[in-house]
């Protein structure tokens, strides 16, 4: 078995033994960079592909919303991630009182948190990838997603874990921020139209 496979098996084994504590970023940081890069590419394309499949007709609208003011988009994107952390944390605290810290609860909350974060990341990377592809003269969101997913994998391979995580979050936040801003201010926009 390769050193990369041993690292993944070891991290997964530690994650399965003691609930939420073992799924800390330090457990993931110990995974070899090549495995983290491959996982980042695969998960980015998987979750981004699900976004394209489900919301493909609205991607151009999301790109326009995010690129109209990228700095504000970053702030709203970080707000979206903050809302996910808050709601998952709140749900965990409420469920923990009912189920008294079982390993099943910790695993379910960790899985829900991971799916929500990766879904937001998928949206963000689709939006940024579509924008980058459009700037390059390509109109296919899949090519943009694969290109930005490849850049994400390179970041996870070359940079330290914490820095790579921040870069990943910043890229995703730009793409998530525009749609989040429009969603938050939808009532005001509707009132202005009437």
Give a yes or no: residue 64 inside a domain. Answer: yes
Tens-digit pLDDT profile for residues 85-101: 899 888 888 877 777 66
Instruction: Scan for tokens 């469920």, then name that residue.
Output: 95
Give a yes or no: residue 154 inside a domain. Answer: yes
Give a yes or no: residue 141 inside a domain. Answer: yes
Tokens standing for 37? 């890069």
Give a yes or no: residue 12 inside a domain. Answer: no
Distances (CA, A) of 174 to 48, 122, 169, 177, 179: 14, 12, 9, 5, 10
Give a yes or no: residue 80 inside a domain. Answer: yes
pLDDT at 37 exceeding the cut of 50: yes
Residue closest to 82 by CA, chosen among 173, 194, 179, 184: 173
pTM of the full structure: 0.79
Contact by Cβ (8 Å): 76, 178: yes
Contact by Cβ (8 Å): 127, 62: yes
pLDDT at 8 exceeding the cut of 60: no
pLDDT at 147: 95
Give a yes or no: residue 193 inside a domain. Answer: no
Give a yes or no: residue 14 inside a domain. Answer: no
CA 32, distance to chain mean position in Å, is 20
The secondary structure of residue 185, as a DSSP letter, is T
Helix runs in 100-160, H state only: 103-135, 141-158
Tens-digit pLDDT profile for residues 135-159: 999 989 999 999 999 999 999 999 9
Residue span of the structural domain in which 85 resides: 33-186
Residue closest to 153 by CA, chosen among 51, 49, 43: 43
CA 190, distance to chain mean position in Å, is 29
Could you give the number of structural domains in the chain? 1
Helix, strand, or coil (residue 80): helix
In 10 A of CB 143, how many CB atoms?
15
């Amino acid at each position: 078995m390769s050193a990369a496979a041993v690292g993944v098996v070891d991290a997964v084994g530690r994650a399965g033994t003691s609930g939420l504590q073992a799924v800390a970023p330090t457990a993931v940081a110990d995974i070899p960079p090549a495995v983290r890069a491959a996982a980042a590419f695969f998960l980015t394309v998987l979750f981004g592909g699900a976004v394209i499949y489900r919301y493909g007709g609205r991607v151009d609208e999301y790109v326009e919303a995010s690129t109209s003011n990228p700095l504000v988009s970053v702030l709203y994107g970080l707000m979206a991630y903050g809302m996910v952390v808050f709601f998952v944390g709140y749900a965990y605290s409420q469920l923990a009182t009912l189920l008294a810290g079982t390993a099943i609860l910790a695993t379910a909350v960790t899985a829900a948190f991971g799916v929500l974060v990766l879904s937001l990341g998928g949206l963000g990377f689709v939006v940024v990838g579509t924008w980058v592809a459009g700037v390059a003269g390509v109109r296919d969101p899949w090519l943009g997603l694969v290109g930005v997913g490849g850049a994400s994998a390179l970041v996870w391979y070359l940079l330290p874990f914490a820095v790579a995580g921040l870069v990943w979050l910043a890229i995703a936040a730009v793409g998530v921020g525009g749609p989040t801003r429009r969603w938050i201010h939808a009532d005001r926009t509707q009132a202005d139209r009437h």
